[in-house]
Structure 1
Amino acid sequence: MRPIGRHRTPLSGPATLHGPQLHAAAGHFGRRRFLTLTAAAAALAFATQVPARGAAAARRLDPARIAEDPFTLGVASGDPLPDSVVLWTRIAPAPYEPGGGLAGQSVAVEWEVAQDERFGTVVRSGTALAQPEYHHTVHVDVTGLDAGRPYYYRFRTGAWISETGRTRTAPALGTAPGALSFAAVSCQAYHDGYFTAHRHLAQEDVDVVFHLGDYLYEYAVNSAGGARGYADRVLPAVFDRETVTLEDYRLRYALYKSDPDLRAAHAAHPFVVAWDDHETENNYAGAVDEHGSPPAEFLLRRAAAYRAYWEHQPLRAGRAPIGPDMPLYRRLHWGSLAQFDVLDTRQYRSDQAYGDVQHTPGPESDDPARTMTGAAQERWLLDGWQASDAVWNVMPQQVCFSQRRLSTDAQAKMSMDAWDGYRASRGRILAGAQAAGVRNLVVLTGDVHVGYAFDIKADFDDPASRTLGTEIVATSIASGKDGTERPANWQTYLTANPHLRFYDGRRGYVRVELTPESARADFRTLAAVTTPGCPISTAASFVTEAGDPGLVPV
Structure 2
Amino acid sequence: MALAGRRRPLTQDTSSRHDPELRTAARHFGRRRFFTVTAAAAALAFSANLPARGVAVGKELDGARIPSDPFTLGVASGDPLPDSVVLWTRLAPSPYEPGGGLPSQYVGVQWELASDERFATVVRWGLAIAYPEYNHSLHIEIEGLDPGRVYYYRFKTGSWISETGRTRTAPATTAAAAKLTYAAVACQAYHDGYFTVHRHLAQDDVDVVFHLGDYLYEYAVNSAGGARDYTDRKLPALYNREAKTLEDYRLRYALYKSDPDLQAAHARHPFVVTWDDHETENNYAGAISENNDPPQEFLLRRAAAYRAHWENQPLRGAQQPSGPDMQLYRRLQWGTLAQFDVLDTRQYRSDQAYGDTLHAPGPETDDPARTLTGTTQENWLIDGWRASQALWNVLPQQVCFSQRRFDVGPDARTSMDAWDGYRASRRRVLDGMKSAGIDNLLVMTGDVHVGYAFDIKEDFDDPASKTLGTEIVATSVASGKDGADRPGNWDTYMKANPHLKFYNGRRGYVRVSLDREKARADFRTVTAVTTPGAPVSTAASFVTEAGNPGLEPV
TM-score range, shorter-chain basis?
Answer: over 0.9
The match for 2:377 is: 377
The match for 2:48 is: 49
What is the CA–CA distance in structure 2 between the aligned matches of 1:56 and 1:134, rounded to whole Å?
Answer: 15
Does the 8 A contact of 1:110 with 1:127 survive in 2?
Answer: yes
* Counterpart amino acid of residue 494 in structure 2: L
The match for 1:323 is: 323
Over 3 Å counting, the alpha-carbon distance change for 1:225 and 1:56 in structure 2 is farther
Deviation at 1:413, TM superposition (A): 0.4
Q: Which residues of 2 match residues 54-453 of structure 1 at below 5 A?
A: 54=53, 59-453=59-453
**Unmatched runs of 5 consecutive residues or more in structure 2:** none
Deviation at 1:173, TM superposition (A): 1.1
What is the CA–CA distance in structure 1 between the aligned matches of 2:88 and 2:65, rounded to whole Å?
Answer: 22
* Counterpart amino acid of residue 37 in structure 2: T
Over 3 Å counting, the alpha-carbon distance change for 1:437 and 1:192 in structure 2 is same
Deviation at 1:23, TM superposition (A): 5.0
The match for 1:22 is: 26
* Counterpart amino acid of residue 35 in structure 2: T
* Counterpart amino acid of residue 346 in structure 1: R
Deviation at 1:101, TM superposition (A): 1.2
Deviation at 1:19, TM superposition (A): 7.4
Does the 8 A contact of 1:485 with 1:506 survive in 2?
Answer: yes
Deviation at 1:12, TM superposition (A): 4.2
Over 3 Å counting, the alpha-carbon distance change for 1:437 and 1:17 in structure 2 is same
Give the secondary-structure state (helix, strand or coil) at the position aligned to 2:383: helix
What is the CA–CA distance in structure 2 between the aligned matches of 1:46 and 1:183, rounded to whole Å?
Answer: 33
Deviation at 1:364, TM superposition (A): 1.4
Over 3 Å counting, the alpha-carbon distance change for 1:290 and 1:229 in structure 2 is same
Deviation by residue 1:127-169 (Cα, 9 ceiling, x = unmatched): 1100000000000001111000000000000001000000000
**Unmatched runs of 5 consecutive residues or more in structure 1:** none
* Counterpart amino acid of residue 223 in structure 2: S
Deviation by residue 1:475-503 (Cα, 9 ceiling, x = unmatched): 00000000000000001001000000000
Deviation at 1:26, TM superposition (A): 8.3
Does the 8 A contact of 2:30 with 2:39 survive in 1?
Answer: no
What is the CA–CA distance in structure 2 between the aligned matches of 1:107 and 1:427, rounded to whole Å?
Answer: 51
Over 3 Å counting, the alpha-carbon distance change for 1:24 and 1:368 in structure 2 is same
What is the CA–CA distance in structure 1 between the aligned matches of 2:40 and 2:370, rounded to whole Å?
Answer: 31
Percent sequence identity over aligned pairs: 70
Give the secondary-structure state (helix, strand or coil) at the position aligned to 2:81: coil
What is the CA–CA distance in structure 2 between the aligned matches of 1:17 and 1:85, rounded to whole Å?
Answer: 37
What is the CA–CA distance in structure 2 between the aligned matches of 1:144 and 1:340, rounded to whole Å?
Answer: 22
The match for 2:37 is: 38
What is the CA–CA distance in structure 2 between the aligned matches of 1:124 and 1:26, rounded to whole Å?
Answer: 41
Deviation at 1:384, TM superposition (A): 0.2
The match for 2:547 is: 547
Give the secondary-structure state (helix, strand or coil) at the position aligned to 2:415: coil
What is the CA–CA distance in structure 2 between the aligned matches of 1:66 and 1:420, rounded to whole Å?
Answer: 52
Deviation by residue 1:176-199 (Cα, 9 ceiling, x = unmatched): 111000000000000000000000
Give the secondary-structure state (helix, strand or coil) at the position aligned to 1:340: strand
| Mean CA deviation greater in 362-371 or 40-49 | 40-49
**Count, aligned residues:** 549
* Counterpart amino acid of residue 133 in structure 1: E
Deviation by residue 1:207-242 (Cα, 9 ceiling, x = unmatched): 000000000000000000000000000000111000
Deviation at 1:409, TM superposition (A): 2.2
* Counterpart amino acid of residue 102 in structure 1: L
TM-score normalized by structure 2?
Answer: 0.96
What is the CA–CA distance in structure 2 between the aligned matches of 1:79 and 1:191, rounded to whole Å?
Answer: 28
Deviation at 1:379, TM superposition (A): 0.2
What is the CA–CA distance in structure 1 between the aligned matches of 2:385 and 2:44, rounded to whole Å?
Answer: 39
Deviation at 1:244, TM superposition (A): 0.3
Over 3 Å counting, the alpha-carbon distance change for 1:75 and 1:156 in structure 2 is same
What is the CA–CA distance in structure 2 between the aligned matches of 1:158 and 1:486, rounded to whole Å?
Answer: 53
Deviation by residue 1:477-536 (Cα, 9 ceiling, x = unmatched): 000000000000001001000000000000000000000110000000011000000000
What is the CA–CA distance in structure 1 between the aligned matches of 2:425 and 2:474, rounded to whole Å?
Answer: 22
What is the CA–CA distance in structure 2 between the aligned matches of 1:544 and 1:77, rounded to whole Å?
Answer: 30
What is the CA–CA distance in structure 1 between the aligned matches of 2:213 and 2:251, rounded to whole Å?
Answer: 18
What is the CA–CA distance in structure 2 between the aligned matches of 1:214 and 1:16, rounded to whole Å?
Answer: 27
* Counterpart amino acid of residue 81 in structure 1: L
| Mean CA deviation greater in 478-487 or 48-57 | 48-57
Does the 8 A contact of 1:19 with 1:49 survive in 2?
Answer: no
Deviation by residue 1:375-409 (Cα, 9 ceiling, x = unmatched): 00000000000000100000000000000000102
| Mean CA deviation greater in 103-112 or 71-80 | 103-112
Deviation at 1:9, TM superposition (A): 3.2
* Counterpart amino acid of residue 254 in structure 1: A
Over 3 Å counting, the alpha-carbon distance change for 1:53 and 1:125 in structure 2 is farther
Does the 8 A contact of 2:112 with 2:154 survive in 1?
Answer: yes
* Counterpart amino acid of residue 48 in structure 2: Q
* Counterpart amino acid of residue 213 in structure 1: G
The match for 1:525 is: 525
What is the CA–CA distance in structure 2 between the aligned matches of 1:100 and 1:143, rounded to whole Å?
Answer: 30
What is the CA–CA distance in structure 2 between the aligned matches of 1:374 and 1:68, rounded to whole Å?
Answer: 46
Over 3 Å counting, the alpha-carbon distance change for 1:24 and 1:165 in structure 2 is closer
Does the 8 A contact of 2:152 with 2:167 survive in 1?
Answer: yes
Over 3 Å counting, the alpha-carbon distance change for 1:125 and 1:350 in structure 2 is same
Does the 8 A contact of 2:34 with 2:297 survive in 1?
Answer: no
| Mean CA deviation greater in 13-22 or 162-171 | 13-22
Deviation by residue 1:243-291 (Cα, 9 ceiling, x = unmatched): 0000000000000000000000000000000000000000000000010
Give the secondary-structure state (helix, strand or coil) at the position aligned to 2:188: coil
What is the CA–CA distance in structure 1 between the aligned matches of 2:490 and 2:433, rounded to whole Å?
Answer: 31
What is the CA–CA distance in structure 2 between the aligned matches of 1:375 and 1:424, rounded to whole Å?
Answer: 12
What is the CA–CA distance in structure 2 between the aligned matches of 1:361 and 1:41, rounded to whole Å?
Answer: 45
Does the 8 A contact of 2:63 with 2:107 survive in 1?
Answer: yes
Give the secondary-structure state (helix, strand or coil) at the position aligned to 1:511: strand
Deviation by residue 1:307-340 (Cα, 9 ceiling, x = unmatched): 0000000001121000000010000000000000
Does the 8 A contact of 2:348 with 2:372 survive in 1?
Answer: yes
What is the CA–CA distance in structure 1 between the aligned matches of 2:153 and 2:167, rounded to whole Å?
Answer: 8
Deviation by residue 1:95-147 (Cα, 9 ceiling, x = unmatched): 11111111211100000000000000000000110000000000000111100
The match for 1:513 is: 513
Does the 8 A contact of 2:385 with 2:438 survive in 1?
Answer: yes
